[in-house]
Chain A
Amino acid sequence: MSNCRRIEKALAAGHFDETLSKISSELCEHMEHCAQCRDAYASLLATEQMVTGESPIELNLTARARIRIGVFNKLERKSLAAGWRGFKPVWGFIATGVLSFLLVLHPWSRQISDPTDPFAVNDTELVDMMFDYIDVPITYDEDLELAVIQQSDPELMAAAIESWYWPSLNEYDETILNSISDFDDSDWDALRRYLI
């Protein structure tokens, strides 16, 4: 019995077209004389037919429904997350910076840029609250109030505070002052300087 494996070598080298059965006439001629190759080829063809004869997989309705639901559920989750997709961290930093700037520095409300000015917050509610806390007499100077609220004239405000009879000048309660949470450190320092 010969040990010819020519057909297998030729097929391994890709000498076939769309199926193993489409081989060259040269190989066909060879197999007419070679029983070994003929058997090997027949066996390969049978295996190929068996494999390609396998029916494609058909999903049943339940599995199809499960896959559909899975896809749409994932799509829903993705679309919720899509709002954040493409949102680069740098935009987060920029947004935080802008927000901080707006919230802390109140640029729209500042007409006086002096950071040591304790009343440099044009928030009448806050100023009223502060006056209540530090027990400013009801008869306090209107000019002072005007200066504090409008912050239109720092010099006038400073003069008013200096000339003002301030009964709680040495009695202010730090905890009360600290409760005015919108003031920052420099505001408090400035206020203390004015009051003491």
Chain B
Amino acid sequence: MATPGTEFTLAPEGMRSDMTLEAIMNTAEYQLVEKARLGSDEAFSELMDQYMNQVYGIALRIVRNPSVAEEITQDVFLSVFRQIKKFRGDSAFSTWLYRITVNSALRTVRKESRYLPIDDGLTLDNQQDARPDPEVIAMENEHQQRIRTLMSQLPAQQRAVLALRIERALPFKEIAGIMGRSIGGVKANYFHAIQKLKAAWIGKEVTNE
């Protein structure tokens, strides 16, 4: 077991990997996770508030259906609540959380792909809009809607990689860790996704014209 002052390589998201254990233990997130591990409902609630957008965003981009994504988000936090005592801190809390999310969403797609109603445009009903100008909103929404429609047609694994890139801008190494795959495999997925989107986007533009 690491002692205070020793190097702790598995730092929470966004932290330098050479931070000392002592420094990590002083971070708000670490303390929050520790409190949640000890059974604090408040800490769990705070963690849920912090990560709800990300979990929902990743799930939505993979399952392509807002109500199913909501259901997955609830189940993910339920799993976190039940399993946080087993969370040993071998990886960052966020990595652990995203792994549960991606696995849960991919499992849903695998199991229910035949029955899952796909919302190609990934409706924006659930989303917050702080932009003031209705015209800008309309234009950006249309643009986003088109990209999301195209993304929703990609294979599930590629959607998962893109979801983690878009929602969290995670490096490929971390995405590979979350998905339990090689970095090369993840990079290949990413490239093929971009390539397909490029081809589809061009096709779409031609069609639109």
Binding site for B on A (CB under 8 A): 8, 11-14, 16, 18, 20, 43-44, 46-48, 50-52, 54-64, 66-68, 70-71, 74-75, 78
Whole-angstrom CA separation of A18 from B167 in the bound complex: 15
> Count the A-B residue pairs with Cβ separation under 8 angstroms: how many?
108
Chain B nearest CB from A22 CB (Å) reads 11
Report the Cα distance A64→B71, complex, angstroms. 12
**Contact surface of B with A, Cβ cutoff 8 Å:** 45, 48-49, 52-54, 56-57, 60-61, 70-71, 73-75, 77-78, 81-82, 126-129, 144, 147-148, 151, 162, 165-169, 171-172, 183-184, 187-188, 191-192, 194-195, 197-198, 201-202
CB < 8 Å: which of B57, B169, B191 contacts A12?
B191
Docked Cα-Cα span, A50 to B169, in Å, equals 14
**Closest chain B residue to A68, Cβ basis:** B48
B60 and A67 form a contact (CB under 8 A): no
Asked if B165 and A20 sit within 8 Å, CB to CB, the answer is no
B57 (CB) vs chain A CBs: closest residue = A57
In angstroms, Cα B185 to Cα A77, docked, is 40
A63: chain B residues within 8 A (beta carbon): 56, 70, 126-127
A70 to B167, CA, bound (A): 23
Of the candidates B128, B169, B191, which one forms a contact with A52 in the assembled complex, judged by CB atoms under 8 Å apart? B169
Q: How far is the CA of A37 from the CA of B169 in the complex (A)?
A: 27
Report, nearest first, the 7 A-B pairs whose CB atoms are least far apart: A57-B57, A14-B187, A63-B126, A47-B198, A70-B74, A58-B128, A60-B128
Q: Whole-angstrom distance between the alpha carbons of A32 and B73 in the complex?
A: 48
A50 to B201: give the CA distance in the assembly, Å: 10
* Closest Cβ neighbor of B151 among chain A residues: A51
Give the CA-CA distance A57 to B125 in the complex, in Å. 11
Cα A61 to Cα B127 with chains together (Å): 9
| Across-interface contacts of A11 in B (CB, < 8 A) | 191
**Given A57-B57, A63-B70, A75-B78: A47 and B127 within 8 A (CB)?**
no
Asked whether, in the complex, the Cβ of B194 is within 8 Å of the Cβ of A20, the reply is yes
B167 surroundings in chain A (CB, below 8 A): 56-57
The reply to whether A20 and B52 contact each other, CB–CB distance below 8 Å, is no
- The answer to whether A14 and B57 touch (CB under 8 A), given A54-B144, A66-B70, is no
Contact of B183 among A14, A44, A57 (CB under 8 A): A14
**In the docked arrangement, what's the CA distance between A75 and B75, Å?**
10
Contacting pair A47 B194 (CB below 8 A):
yes
Are B53 and A52 closer than 8 Å at their CB atoms?
A: no
> Are A47 and B171 in contact, CB atoms less than 8 angstroms apart?
no
Question: How far is B53's CA from A50's CA once the two chains are assembled, in angstroms?
Answer: 21
Is A14's CB under 8 angstroms from B128's CB? no
